[in-house]
Amino acid sequence: MIGQKHIENRDNYRFKKHWLFVAPLFLILGCSREIPLPKSAEIANGPVIHMFLQPDSSIVANCSKVVGILNPFEPETNASITIAINSNLPIALNMNSAGIYSNSIPKLKARDTAVIKYQSTTDSFTLKQIIPSNIVFTKTDTLTEPIAGIGITQGFKIQFQDSAIDQNYYRIQAKRLIRKYSRDKNNNVIDSTQYWETMRIDGNDLPFVRNNYNNYTEQEILFRDETFNGVLTTFHFYNLLPNPNNNLEKTLRVSITLENLSKPLYDYYNTRAAHLWSQKSITQLPGPLTGNIPNGYGVIGAFTSCNWVIKYQ
């Protein structure tokens, strides 16, 4: 005979089982909430402008509008852009194709001051840029060296004189001309192709290490002159890949470029490196790029450069 106490115990057991199932569900629902995107991830309207001023080169501005990620690219076709050099009369940039404005008449020189005026149906601003001083290599050297974690690879040394009157910002880039061979089963060359490839580079000199943004890129090295202002200095960097010369691939030339950047361009390249790195991460939201376009995106910057080509054959 089933007594009242047995029935109560059975009902209590069923209630406990039911509660053990439902309780975690309430906990999950209680912990679930919609997480809003940070303000930096919201899209704001404004112009997108990229303009890189370099001595003895045509002046070109690429102009477009902010669009959603699913919308097509929209160039700015109703802009008026002028540039005045050293207080001379302003010269207009002409739109040669949709969103691209240029003029090859004015020739910039190092230390020139350029005043850029931009106006569209929705935005207008004026910016001033000073072209950095010229930079030249005073000494260069190559070496083959062992690097921990890489093996035998190419090393490079460059020396240049920093200008003491300015606060300078620099960028190093390298690329190599490769010849690749196709061989038959008897190891005879049957075809070959050659092309330029951006090199992966790094270095351990103090100015390189002091810029944390260099941790985000292997395509360039960015640094400033705070530790060597006005001093003739030698810098060392190296290829992050082992020396690739073999019977299938040879390096014919290496081209090293050193750029002296304006501060807005230096900041833009730094934050661009972090932005591109975070795009590859599954845990990081891409951060905003630091630019100098008022109420917009992009950069108007200036630079001078020098180049060193190493011929291996």
Strands 189-198 and 169-183: antiparallel
Q: pLDDT 10s digit of each residue in the chain, 313 long?
A: 445 544 454 445 444 444 444 444 444 444 444 545 445 445 568 899 999 999 999 999 999 999 888 889 999 999 999 999 998 999 999 999 999 999 988 789 999 999 999 999 999 999 999 999 999 999 999 999 999 999 999 999 999 999 999 999 999 999 999 999 999 999 999 999 999 999 999 999 999 999 999 999 999 999 999 999 999 999 999 999 998 778 889 999 999 999 999 999 999 999 999 999 998 877 777 778 899 999 999 999 999 999 999 998 7
pLDDT for 24: 47
Whole-structure pTM value: 0.84
pLDDT for 7: 44
User: What is the rounded CA–CA span in Å between residue 254 and residue 174?
Assistant: 7
User: What is the rounded CA–CA span in Å between residue 99 and residue 106?
Assistant: 20
| Residue range 137-267+305-311, CATH number | 2.60.40
**Range list for CATH 2.60.40 in the chain:** 43-130, 137-267+305-311
Please name the residues in contact with 72: beta carbons below 8 A apart, sequence gap of 6 or more. Answer: none
User: What is the rounded CA–CA span in Å between residue 167 and residue 279?
Assistant: 31
Strands 232-239 and 201-202: antiparallel
The total of other beta-carbon atoms located within 10 Å of residue 281's CB is 9
| Residue range 43-130, CATH number | 2.60.40
What residues form DSSP beta bridges with 147? 151
pLDDT for 248: 87
User: Which of 90, 71, 74, 94 has its CA nearest to residue 82?
Assistant: 90
The total of other beta-carbon atoms located within 10 Å of residue 297's CB is 17
Q: Is-contact 187 166, C-beta < 8 A?
A: no
pLDDT for 216: 95
pLDDT for 286: 76
What residues form DSSP beta bridges with 63? 49
DSSP 106: S
180: tokens are 């690749």
pLDDT for 281: 78
